[in-house]
Structure 1
Amino acid sequence: MITSSFRNWALNETPSSRAQAAWGRRYRLWLNLKGNPLAMFGLVVILAFVLLSIFAPLLAPYDPSAQNLANRLSAPTAEHWFGTDELGRDILSRILYGGRVTMGMVIAVVILVAPIGLAVGCIAGYYGGIVDTALMRITDVFLAFPRLILALAFVAALRPGVESAVLAIALTAWPPYARLARAETMTIRNSDFIAACKLTGASSKRIIARHIAPLCVPSLIVRITLDMSSIILTAASLGFLGMGAQPPSPEWGAMIATAKRFIFEQWWVATIPGLAIFFVSLAFNFLGDGLRDVLDPKQN
């Protein structure tokens, strides 16, 4: 009954308030996204991994750091669903706790890079001239290096660890978002409504923050969602190379690094964390494609 009432209220063709119009737009976007099976599959997988990571202390059958050398490299059984690693640690428990590390790194990177990329792109696109040239040349410097190589250099200059890996990935991930925000800003900075804002005396800062940046957010959300998989792979690569999370932290990339010498005889030790990375990356790609169809007006 409540759902039906909300649906009728949100889909009302003549909204009585701005809030109703905003919720109606959000609800229509949700309905469009819900009609994409692959996007919904990606959303379900992502939510499942997030919930499993959050409730890892309740769901993990064993302590992820507890060693049992007498049961090392045990194949998957009813006692250990995903088997054990070279130190007898339960792989399922380490996968659940490792999701906290990997997903936490990804969320931290997005929180850092999204505002930076949006601000740099909007400022460069709005002001143009020497401001645009200076900011875009700095962006080009970061784009000139492969992300993983530049991240490795930053981590090596600091010290291996989760914090250093997050900072390094963030420093290398913002340029594409700045480029996208700049392109969006340049298409709307000469619009009539921007001219009207200037006539009312609105400052450049207010125009950027209140009118231009919100219009760039949908495209930025799509790009970030599609880029999540590469951020996950970069984080896992840093862990694999020993520059990310340090042992005994159960990070998926680090788990593959310690298990690579067992990949042929005890395949489950390296395969299980590899499958976790694969499914999360694939889910973000599916969700990103669905969001692009829903949020990008050029696709409609």
Structure 2
Amino acid sequence: MTPVAGDDGPRRAGRWLAPLRGPLTALAWCTGIAFLVGALPWLSGDDPARTVLRARSAERVADPEALRSVRDELDLPTDPVSGTLGWLGGAVRGDLGVSWVTGAPVAPDIANALGVSVSLASFAALVALSTGILVVLPGLLRAARAGHPGGRGADVTGALLASVPDFLLASVFLAIAAVRWDLAPTSGWETPAHAVLPALALGLPAGGLVSRVLSSALGAALAESWIRTWRATGFAPRTIAAALLRRTLAVAMPQVMLVFAGLLGSAVLVESVFAIPGLGHTALVGTLAQDLPVVQGAVAALVLVGLLAGGIGVAVHRALLGPALVSSGLTPAVPIVPAARRLPLAVGGVLLLGVVVGLTRDPEAISLTARLEPPSAAHPLGTDPLGRDLLARFGHGALLSAGAGVAVSLVALVAGGVIGVSGRRARAGAADVLNALPPVLVGVLLAAVTGPGLAGAATAVALVAWIPIAVHARTLAAEVRASGYHQAAVAGGATRGWILRRHLLPSVLPAVARHALMRVPHNTLALVGLSFLGLGAPHDSPEWGAMLAESMRYVERAPWAVAVPALGLALLGVVASLLRTERR
């Protein structure tokens, strides 16, 4: 049958539009976020003029004359649509407007804050990548010699690092290393020395998470056929180790770039501890004051850097794999995962025992005569600043903190897995746009509309928690599509659904499920951070973040009050890290 002229027109148009799909999607998400931020005062039910007046002078009476004066001075928009369209028009020309609170141009302040945050995030990402490599390096060298990574030391170390709240590390570093030992500056951002403690506080927990991604990628690489061929051929262990490192970094680099983009905004708490004028802190202050031009400029900068980081991660992944990604040179297999049942059961038993015993005690009983008592027979974990039993608060808080973290991780697994596997090509797009928005900022935006609360905090974390899962699934799916058996299935006429069930999901889901599992402590930490800021659970709640916020001022006098919730996070991290979806 002779083809009809023009039959290939829609197909050619699709090929032309395919490269633009990612940028157009990202542009649509950026525009949507701009309108959402621009509607903040109206969503919260507050008058922008009243908010500005309150931010400028809390003592001034908000009478009609004063409000009219503010509106005339700043030419405040009357509705969010016209206001956002006006701001977008100026932003395209490089004009981000003026601050509603100070009256100063926004662009120079955003540029300075962005430079500070990029520098801090770069140092922290370097610490994270170095930490991750150092944690998995012994297992990688052992795998190059013996074919398996050996024990679980790297998993435990990575889990413990990933479970430490960055704001807790920052507070401890400030109190001990900066104030007591005078090893580094206590605040500001003037010399490279000012970056040391903040970068360590941000980078060490992120390094624990990176090490878990590297460890998972190492297990997958050891199950591929090329490693067995190289070992049988007699390649030197150092050559195999270098190839394994390259292969694991290929999977991990998109995650590392996500970490970099996330650090730009998630450094809010660390920047606040060390008084660093970074972009996250600027966005938080602007959001609390509802200074829309500042918030819009900060969010725009975060999104642009997030897109750039996502694109770099995709490019590095392709560069590290080279021709294998397009020439059917990969043979993804089920990762090699050593069985580990006793250790997670033992650690989980300790955690469960503490929770169960704590649930039998009263978390609200106040005794001012027993304030900040150390551990004793009456109070095995000590008491808090109000004399309440810490064991009781630990047990009741676990249901709030860990329970919410598990629920958020399940939502992230389903949403991220579906979105990541559905993508036909790895490209920077909507995920990278949303990843640039820190949970703290999203939590502030939601709190402005719904008020603070644990449900709003969990929603804020869930809105960004699926993104690393989606990027991981997207990376692994791209490798599966480059494999020989996938190409053979396509050539044989297999349907997309059959390929999804038989090839994509079996190859991608185990690693992604482990990733989601090890992110339970990370998501719990995000909830803890929001509660620490007063945006999550109430201040008198036994939720672990609220407990940390209440006890941080007593860290030197009563370190056990801080150690109890921190220990719960560490135990949760170890259990989540060592539980596996399959065994060897």
Under a length normalisation based on structure 2, what TM-score does the superposition of the two structures give?
0.38
Of 30, 46, 62, the match for 2:348: 46
* Matched residue, 2:564: 272
| CA distance in structure 2 between the partners assigned to 1:148 and 1:218 by the alignment | 30
Q: For 1:116-151, what per-residue CA distance to the aligned partner results, in whole angstroms no more than 9, with x for missing partners?
A: 111001110xx34xxx66xx4101102223444444
Q: CA deviation at 1:254?
A: 0.5
| CA distance in structure 1 between the partners assigned to 2:452 and 2:351 by the alignment | 26
CA separation of 1:43 and 1:62: change in aligned 2, threshold 3 A: closer
Q: For 1:240-286, what per-residue CA distance to the aligned partner results, in whole angstroms no more than 9, with x for missing partners?
A: 1111222432111101111223223233322322232233335544x
In the alignment of these two chains, the number of paired residues is: 251
Q: Which runs of 5+ in 1 are unaligned?
A: 1-25, 296-300
Aligned partner of residue 243 in structure 1, secondary structure: coil
Q: How does 1:136-155 map to 2 (within 5 A)?
A: 136-155=428-447
* Matched residue, 1:228: 520
Q: CA deviation at 1:216?
A: 0.8
Q: For 1:209-259, what per-residue CA distance to the aligned partner results, in whole angstroms no more than 9, with x for missing partners?
A: 554223211111232233333222212111211112224321111011112
Q: How does 1:52-67 map to 2 (within 5 A)?
A: 52-53=354-355, 55-56=356-357, 60-67=359-366
Q: Which deviates the most, 275-284 or 163-172?
A: 275-284
Q: Is 1:262 aligned with 2:262? A: no
Q: CA deviation at 1:188?
A: 2.1
CA separation of 1:268 and 1:191: change in aligned 2, threshold 3 A: closer
Of 422, 428, 449, the match for 1:123: 422
* Matched residue, 1:167: 459
* Matched residue, 2:479: 187
Q: Is 1:208 aligned with 2:500? A: yes
Q: Is 1:239 aligned with 2:545? A: no
* Matched residue, 1:15: none
Aligned partner of residue 519 in structure 2, secondary structure: helix
| Structure showing greater relative contact order (alpha-carbon pairs closer than 8 Å, 6 or more residues apart) | 1
Q: Is 1:96 aligned with 2:433? A: no
**Equivalent position amino acid for 1:212 in 2:** L
Q: For 1:159-188, what per-residue CA distance to the aligned partner results, in whole angstroms no more than 9, with x for missing partners?
A: 322211211111111111111111221222
Q: For 1:186-224, what per-residue CA distance to the aligned partner results, in whole angstroms no more than 9, with x for missing partners?
A: 222355655676688764345325542232111112322
* Matched residue, 1:16: none
| CA distance in structure 2 between the partners assigned to 1:157 and 1:177 by the alignment | 28
| CA distance in structure 1 between the partners assigned to 2:438 and 2:538 by the alignment | 23
Q: Is the 8 A contact 2:443 2:457 kept in 1?
A: yes
CA separation of 1:246 and 1:196: change in aligned 2, threshold 3 A: same
| CA distance in structure 2 between the partners assigned to 1:86 and 1:206 by the alignment | 60
Of 38, 53, 71, the match for 2:370: 71
| CA distance in structure 2 between the partners assigned to 1:193 and 1:41 by the alignment | 37
CA separation of 1:61 and 1:188: change in aligned 2, threshold 3 A: closer
**Equivalent position amino acid for 1:33 in 2:** A
Aligned partner of residue 33 in structure 1, secondary structure: coil
Structure possessing the higher radius of gyration over alpha carbons: 2
| CA distance in structure 2 between the partners assigned to 1:256 and 1:177 by the alignment | 28
| CA distance in structure 1 between the partners assigned to 2:359 and 2:415 by the alignment | 37
CA separation of 1:47 and 1:243: change in aligned 2, threshold 3 A: farther
Q: Which runs of 5+ in 2 are unaligned?
A: 1-333
Q: CA deviation at 1:72?
A: 3.0
Under a length normalisation based on structure 1, what TM-score does the superposition of the two structures give?
0.70
Q: Is the 8 A contact 1:240 1:256 kept in 2?
A: yes
| CA distance in structure 2 between the partners assigned to 1:106 and 1:50 by the alignment | 16
Q: Is the 8 A contact 1:229 1:284 kept in 2?
A: yes
Alpha carbon RMSD of aligned pairs, Å? 3.3
**Equivalent position amino acid for 1:120 in 2:** I
Q: Is 1:177 aligned with 2:479? A: no
CA separation of 1:50 and 1:235: change in aligned 2, threshold 3 A: farther
| CA distance in structure 2 between the partners assigned to 1:151 and 1:284 by the alignment | 25
Aligned partner of residue 86 in structure 1, secondary structure: coil
CA separation of 1:211 and 1:158: change in aligned 2, threshold 3 A: farther
Q: Is 1:85 aligned with 2:379? A: no
